[in-house]
Amino acid sequence: MNFGQAISTCLSKYADFSGRASRPEFWWFFLFQILVSVAASMVSDLLNGLMVLGLLLPALAVGTRRLHDIGKSGWWQLIMLTGIGYFLLIYWWVQPASDDAGVYDAASV
């Protein structure tokens, strides 16, 4: 999956928390968020805030689908609120796909 495909996939699955997301899909969208945030912050803080809010839901959705791909529940993203939990999430997000991740393929979550 290339950069453009990842962006279109993540934005078309804006609030789809079921299924799986590959590593390239997740990381290309992560890079897109950073680039959009940097560009928006150069224009104004208000625009940056609006862009962050606009991309929050698709970011959570692709993060959840990425966790499903390694066999974890998307609810693990809540540990990001602790601050230090972000490092654990990064570790999980870089892991290869799990063969037993089929538990989270359907809307059973």
Return contacts of 55-59, CB within 8 angstroms, 24+ apart: 57/14, 57/15, 58/10, 58/11, 58/13, 58/14, 58/15, 58/29, 59/29, 59/30, 59/33
Residue 98 pLDDT: 80
Residue 100 pLDDT: 67
Averaged pLDDT, 4-20: 91
For the chain, the structural domain boundaries read 3-104
Residue 103 pLDDT: 54
Residue 99 pLDDT: 76
